[in-house]
Amino acid sequence: MTVSIPTVYSLTDLTVGEGIATGQLITPGGLQTIAANHNFIGGNFRPQVCDVFDVDGFGSIAAGGSSYKVLTGTPVLEQLDGRGLTFVGVFTNASGSLASNLRLICGANQGPVVTLAAGATATTVTLTCDTPSSGNFVVGVQAGNYNTDNDTILLTGSFFWSGKTGSQSSSPTSSGFVWAQAAEFADTFPLTVEQVNRFIGGPLTAWNGAPQSIGSLNWDWTFRAPTTTSTSYTEIGRIFLNKRRKTMKIKIGAIGDNGTLKASILGNDVEVITGATGGPDSSFSDLSGMNVNLSSSIDLINSPDLFEVVLYWKSTSGSSAKVTNVNFMVDKS
Amino acid sequence: MSNYLDAEGYFDKVGLQEIGTSSPQVVNGAVAEALWILQADQKQADLLHFGPSFSCIGGGQDRQFGAAASSKSGVIGFLAPAFCDRVSFGMYARGSGTLTLNSNYTLTMDNGVGAYAWSWGSLTENLVGVTPSAIGSPEYKKIDYAKGAGLDVISLVIRYGLSSEKLS
């Protein structure tokens, strides 16, 4: 059996004429509305996995012809249902003659190329890519076909999950979301426990099934990322985080190499150690070999709603150490 | 501040919502229990969509908003959740000056020239020209900003919400 994911969320008031209120007979219409909205949420809960912004933009060295450079990226936790990623960003192309190429790359998967016209300023572009079949991965925004450093610049953008639309198998998804079967609610059908139970825990399952970020710090991979050979910590950034649920845990993900990230968070220091390999290189055309470096789980149950995190960076061994992306991700484990 | 997604416990009552037995059966005789679930499900759906959500932009020591001593202008984008039509900004900065959004809304900081302490700017309920996003789909919005010289912005916090508390 299949289910159909509606294209809109119904705003119908179920307590007026829909039979979902005390003292009314439950009607198929009201049940179908709930079923449709339930499925809509299952297919369209699409939180962001990273936000990027820099007043000077994320650029790179020249990438002429068919070559590409990664402007910036982020670590992403696995989404079990195999959803792709979407990126919407604002780009500028300073070239007066060359239309540059943009694409998203998720691990080894390169998304379709979108052209950015020569001379484009603050232009919003949408990019997509399929996500790896399993495991955490690194996603990057790539630009190509520009002959001068920093001709193509990303100013700001958000990575978020792609939605599910159309006809889907009514079997539960890998992340555990159980679709409702609207067609099973009819005047002549009994109202069964199974059909009612298909609603249970839907929003929570959708929430748990969609990894998301509550804040991130990002630098471009070529010019401006903090780099050091010092084995003493240096402050590299501050950010405020806000809880999205009363009880939640987070993990800090980092992209970097040869170094150790320290986050001073709620009176505790949490470290993320990056390896000597698997770090960022703007010339990568395949990000599947990159490490998603994760901290231990941080419980925010006793934290205030809004709190500051101070970040420090050092070289682990004295070798040149670079960190390009720090992502505070909701931990569902 | 709005409620958390689980403020009314819906996310944490999964185990309490079971009715009947494990095998399908007619529950017309247990309408009262079924009704509770259905109402809760509808509420959950609403909460999921317009619950509070924040995004923190910037925060880098390399001045993602530009050096304190220079004025800067540009565009900031953010992903507005489904149904969002209200955006509030909080600025974490030092020094003196203003950050103006969409030429209309100004966040001001004045904690003394030369002061070297982090302090809050303002966190106000500014509606920055954001229209309700398409039903059910997150939408990418962008706003213009202009930062005055003398203002050292470290982080900008965005809060999303709905102008109405109920969808249905």
For B56, the closest of A90, A215, A224 (CB atoms) is A215
Same domain, yes or no, for A102 and A123? Answer: yes
Q: A55 and chain B: CB distance < 8 Å anywhere? A: yes
Q: Are strands A109-110 and A100-106 parallel, antiparallel or unpaired?
A: antiparallel
Closest CA to A276 of A256, A295, A261, A296: A256
Q: How many CB pairs under 8 A join A and B?
A: 226
Q: Are residues B98 and B153 in the same domain?
A: yes
Do residues B123 and B144 share a domain? yes
Instruction: Tell me, yes or no, whether A268 lies in a domain.
Output: yes
- Which class for B163: exposed (0-12), middle (13-18), buried (19 or more C-beta within 10 A)? exposed
Q: What's the distance, CA A204 to chain centroid? A: 18
Residue B166 domain-assigned (yes or no): no
Q: Has residue B153 been placed in a domain?
A: yes
Statement to judge: residues B18 and B87 lie in one domain: no
Q: Which residues pair with A278 in a beta bridge?
A: none
The residue ranking higher by pLDDT, A185 or A131, is A131
The SS3 of residue B49 is helix
**A203 → closest Cβ in B21, B44, B155:** B44
- Give the residue with greater pLDDT, A75 vs A46: A75
> Nearest residue on chain A to B71, judged by CA atoms?
A55
Chain B contact for A158 (CB, 8 A cutoff) = yes
Which range of residues forms the domain containing residue A302? Answer: 215-330
A124, B140 contact by CB (below 8 A): yes
| Burial degree of A221 (CB within 10 A; 0-12, 13-18, 19+) | buried
Domain check: are B41 and B62 in the same one? no
pLDDT of residue B15: 33
Residue of B nearest to A207 (CA): B48
Residues of B whose CB is below 8 A from A160: 79, 138
Q: Do B67 and B24 belong together in one domain?
A: no
Q: Name the strand (E) or helix (H) holding B80.
A: strand B72-80
Determine the residue among A37, A83, A92, A265 to mutate to test chain B binding: the one whose Cβ has the most chain B Cβ atoms within 10 Å: A37
> What is the residue-wise DSSP string for B21-48?
-SS--B-GGGHHHHHHHHHHHHHHHHHH
Instruction: Specify the pLDDT at position B8.
Output: 37
Provide the CATH number for the domain around residue B121.
Answer: 2.60.120
| Residue A190 distance to chain B (closest CA, Å) | 6
Higher-scoring residue by pLDDT: A103, B78: A103
- Specify the CATH number for the domain of residue A117: 2.60.120.260
Does A89 reach chain B within 8 Å, measured CB to CB?
Answer: yes
The domain containing residue B94 runs over which residues? 53-161
Nearest CA distance, A86 vs chain B (angstrom):
11
Please indicate, yes or no, if residue A114 is contained in any of the structural domains.
Answer: yes
State chain A's mean pLDDT as an integer: 91
Q: What is the mean pLDDT of residues A255-265?
A: 97
- Higher-confidence residue of A135 and B151: namely A135
Q: Do residues B43 and B125 both lie within one domain?
A: no
Q: How many domains does chain B have?
A: 2
What's the structural domain count of chain A?
3
Nearest to A157 by CA among A92, A227, A243: A92
The per-residue pLDDT for B12 is 38
Indicate whether B1 belongs to any domain.
no
- Do the domain assignments include residue B132? yes
Report B:28-47 residues touching A (Cβ under 8 A): 28, 31, 34-35, 37-39, 41-42, 44-45, 47
Q: Tell how many helices (H) and how many strands (E) occur in chain A.
A: 3, 21
Residue A89 half-sphere exposure, CB side, CA atoms within 13 Å?
A: 34
Whether residues B79 and B39 share a domain: the answer is no
Angle at A39 between CA A35 and CA A43, to 5 degrees: 170
Residue B23 Ramachandran class (φ > 0 left, ψ -120 to 50 alpha, else beta): beta
The alpha-carbon gap from B4 to the nearest alpha carbon of chain A, in Å, equals 5
Among A272, A252, A281, A254, residue whose Cα is nearest residue A316: A272
- Outline where A156-256 has alpha helix (H): 193-197, 202-209
Residues B41 and B120 in one domain: no
Q: What is the pLDDT of residue B26?
A: 40
Q: What's the pLDDT tens digit per position in A305-327? A: 888 899 999 999 999 999 999 99
Report CA-CA distances (Å) from B13 to A202, A206, A310: 12, 15, 36
pLDDT at A225: 92
CB of B11 within 8 Å of any CB in chain A? yes
- For chain A, give percent helix, strand, coil, nearest 5: 10, 45, 45
**What value of ipTM does the predicted structure carry?**
0.85
Partner-chain contact B62 A244, CB within 8 Å:
no
Where is average pLDDT lowest: A162-176, A187-201, A267-281? Answer: A187-201
Mean pLDDT within A299-310: 88
Nearest CA in chain A to B39: A20
Which residue stretches of chain B have pLDDT < 50?
1-32, 116, 165-168
